[in-house]
Structure 1
Amino acid sequence: MGNRSENLPKKFTERLQGQISAEDFDAFKEAIDGQVPVSYRTNPFKPAEITFSDTTPVPWCDEAQYIAKRPSFAEDPLIFAGAYYVQEASSMFLWKALKQHAPLEKDLRVLDLCAAPGGKSTLINSLLTPKSVLVSNEIVGKRSLPLIDNLVRWGNPNTLVTGNYAESFAPLREYFDVVVTDAPCSGEGMFRKDPKASELWSTSLVDSCASIQESIVDHIPHALKAGGLYIYSTCTFAPQENEERLVQILESDEFEPLEIDIDPSWGISTVEVERNGVKAIGYRFIFHKTKGEGLFLTAFRKKGEPSIHQKFSVSPKKMKSVFMVKKRESEELRKWLENGKDFEFYQDGEDVYAIPSHMVQDFKIMKVTQKLRHQGIKMGRFNKKNGQLIPDHELAVSNIVSAKIPTLDVEYRDAIDFLKKQEMSVKTIQGVKGWAIIKYKGLALGWVKVLPNRLNNYYPSELRLRKDV
């Protein structure tokens, strides 16, 4: 894997030597030259036969496994179907924090403030009730694309993707029950996994990230309900980005610190900060002690009792300006869904989206107050000639598509050819005309259109598998 320990930035090394013991520092250098652990987390909404060999559980996340040797994930159609997400194990500690401190049995509004590429958003979504709402926010436009793709693969309609700075959410006073901030950081915890992170590191980057984090932490209390849960994390070891944020949160006097139950065998270190007699704990993952990359995570509860009255206000006139699809077209769209009566529909240009009825109000609020990049499940667009729906890929891989739509479960080679947008050995589906869904091991991969003597492959060109398999 190369000697990454020899190429660590000098000022980073000097600082870390002051943070940990000499014995720990030697172990850190040895670990950073070692193997990068590989782990994945399953999608509870898409149970599948996942056959990686030599797996062991990730102890702080019941839905996750380590894999002894990294496979070629691009050769597995199940990853394209959304059966699992390849995620760094340490970052899945969020699962433990949410299970212990979030009222997951209730319908919640959750904000994942720095959400790309989607690991934490799909994890959060796995834990929420069907009538909860997840707002996944990513300010960088290019980074929001994989975020949307990963949420689409996960298949649930109760998500909204926004692209805003933290302060944009402040006017939505006491709107969210949970706010998760995996803050932009200097990336020291990724030095082993991504050598580029080490090359880009500088003390000025640490200072810049700390400034951004300070601004984020300043604005979060406004949008979080009293009694709400706030989780802050980074993938760095820098005290300016971690311990100083603990101090900032404590000094705001708006939060009570929370402890997360951990097992000593997990190798998680704790960092304590005290202000005015109140002690906050940060949980640190570091290469030589935990089986994962570098992470810092802390949890707080906002002080006070939740109000039964909404404290934010949105112009009713603006809300009414968000037009939903008319009744006649809605009835046609509902036929494509398993529980169509539970949805309303929104048209953006030619694209039509299914919005869960319980989420329509939240959708409209985000539409008029934030930069909204994606909503619900894209169903497709109407054919201008005959008025019929041309279904979108999102609908095929969603968890809401009607069970009455014809499907064909194909073998591995045909699944790969379908994902490469090539011709499959299967030429037709007996007794079927028109739209059908191609499946692999019971999970949807996308649409085909059944014609008399052939299947037209409608897998999106921009998503097609380019690797030779």
Structure 2
Amino acid sequence: MNLPQVFIDRLQIQFATKSADLVASFNESSPTSIRIHQKKLNEYSGEKIPWSNSGYYLPERPLFTIDPLFHAGCYYVQEASSMFLEQVFTQLLSKEEKITVLDLCAAPGGKSTHISTLINDKSVLVSNEVIASRANILKENIIKQGSGNVIVTNSDAKYFSELSEVFDCIVIDAPCSGEGLFRKDNEAVKEWSADQAHFCSIRQQRILEDVIPCLKKKGLLIYSTCTFNPEENEMQLKWLKEKYGFSGVQLKIENSLNIDEWNEDDLYGYRFLPNKIKGEGFFLAVLRKEEPASSLGNSTNKKFVSWMPELCIEKEISPIRNWINQNESENIYKWKENYFLMSNEQLKMMNELSDRVKIIYAGVDLASKKNDEFIPSPALALFERINISSFNNLNLSIEQALSFLRKDSLQISSLEKGWMLAVFENHPLGWVKSLGNRMNNYFPMEWRIKNY
């Protein structure tokens, strides 16, 4: 790999004698890793990722597109180093506590789908992406994860600045120069320049300043990048401490993990160097907000359409109540023509967000209603607490499952009529409607497999 000489020179200054091994690692192949959804796939064998309870390395990269379990949300293809986020939640945040989390730069969804499993059902994760097309991909991955404790938003960071101390924890996987992903992305190498990296650092500070007001006092800020650049990493921590009084939080890291810990002036950062660990280049730090924000951000004067569903009366929703295993803190709400399962805490958070940010999804979309008939939604099929026994199941072979995922016509007949849950190896994929002599395929057109 032809790396820019300016980049190599900086690594030599930054890592001294260790830089040669780091540069050499860019010519090695990238490992493939997945994170399993333990509520959907409770048995899996393979090489464990040492800093993640649910992460595994694969011996080679398969074609995930043709694995129905991938589409069922049984696992997520995620870079191993980034799964270190799990250590922050397990060491510093109790899963028993009810907390609010903002994942600000969330697409395509690796960290958000991970966080949703690290917090409880009464906690709320706001998963945000500023770019609309990427926000739709984020929404799809959140739905396939099926946790139900997430609100998906599509807004610039500046719109969160009007919120006052709403979140216990904010995760910012900041847009960066991407140096840690060079061996996975040759285009990133071609686009890299020192000026571009500096521009990234300026953008990162703007993003950080925008969200500081909405983090609670004593709340945690988890900051990460996929770059080695000190201007985008360590210098940002110093800036947050000097300008806003943030304090550093140290994690307990075993030496055997070979994670490089940076420590200066009671600030701590964790570097993942591909010559020392099995993963890509990554940086993560945790800071604590010690003082309340002196003022909220400037009002944007932009108002978004409110996304405020209405609580349903029991008589209206009794036919769908047994479709799910519902928690006591949850209720079914109606928004336009759809019925959503949401917790009391999600509704409270939506009240905070309403008008200020653009909400595109919340809770679990259970069904819509047409001509007095409830039509089960794709999200319901993938929800981790769907009551599978409430439906007639259509068990599919691998060939039939792939045909279903391509949204082909299914050449299957059944004595049953009506809605059936399409299932592969006991894992729901979506819905078909049996008319006796044929099956109508209700897999979402935008999710279908296109090139296989």
Tell whether 2:447 aligns with 1:459: no
Which deviates the most, 13-22 or 433-442? 13-22
On the 8 A contact 2:309/2:333 being kept in 1, the answer is: no
SS in structure 2 at match of 1:446? strand
The equivalent residue for 1:314 is: none
Note the C-alpha offset of 1:401: 3.1
Number of equivalences: 438
Identify which of 400, 412, 415 aligns with 2:398.
412
Tell whether 2:369 aligns with 1:382: yes
Deviations 1:13-68 (A, max 9, x none): 2222211124x2221232111110111111122125557xxx31100001111112
Note the C-alpha offset of 1:335: 4.8
Tell whether 2:346 aligns with 1:344: no
Letter in 2 for 1:286: L
Note the C-alpha offset of 1:80: 0.3
Note the C-alpha offset of 1:326: 4.7
Identify which of 20, 23, 46 aligns with 2:15.
20
Deviations 1:111-138 (A, max 9, x none): 0011011000011001111111010011
Matches within 5 A, 1:57-456: 57-274=48-265, 279-303=266-290, 322-324=308-310, 326-327=312-313, 328-339=315-326, 342-348=330-336, 350-383=337-370, 386-403=371-388, 404-424=390-410, 426-428=412-414, 430=415, 432-456=416-440
Deviations 1:372-414 (A, max 9, x none): 121122234321xx22122221111112433312222322222
Note the C-alpha offset of 1:333: 4.5
How high is the TM-score relative to the length of structure 1? 0.88
Percent sequence identity is 36
Letter in 2 for 1:441: E
On the 8 A contact 1:102/1:229 being kept in 2, the answer is: no
SS in structure 1 at match of 2:138? helix
How high is the TM-score relative to the length of structure 2? 0.91
The equivalent residue for 1:312 is: none
Letter in 2 for 1:15: R
Letter in 2 for 1:345: Y
Quick one: distance in 1 between partners of 2:404 and 2:70?
14
Note the C-alpha offset of 1:424: 4.0
Quick one: distance in 1 between partners of 2:227 and 2:126?
25
Quick one: distance in 2 between partners of 1:448 and 1:69?
34
On the 8 A contact 1:417/1:424 being kept in 2, the answer is: yes
Note the C-alpha offset of 1:365: 2.5
On the 8 A contact 1:74/1:467 being kept in 2, the answer is: no
On the 8 A contact 2:381/2:429 being kept in 1, the answer is: yes
On the 8 A contact 1:434/1:450 being kept in 2, the answer is: yes
Q: 1:96 to 1:176 in 2, by over 3 A?
A: same
The equivalent residue for 2:301 is: none
Letter in 2 for 1:393: P
Quick one: distance in 1 between partners of 2:436 and 2:9?
71
Identify which of 22, 29, 43 aligns with 1:35.
29
Letter in 1 for 2:332: E
SS in structure 1 at match of 2:354? helix
Quick one: distance in 2 between partners of 1:321 and 1:242?
36
Quick one: distance in 2 between partners of 1:50 and 1:343?
34
The equivalent residue for 1:11 is: 6
Structure 1: runs of 5+ lacking an equivalent? 306-317
Quick one: distance in 1 between partners of 2:204 and 2:24?
31
Which deviates the most, 76-85 or 38-47? 38-47
Tell whether 2:30 aligns with 1:45: no
Q: 1:198 to 1:320 in 2, by over 3 A?
A: closer
Note the C-alpha offset of 1:84: 0.5
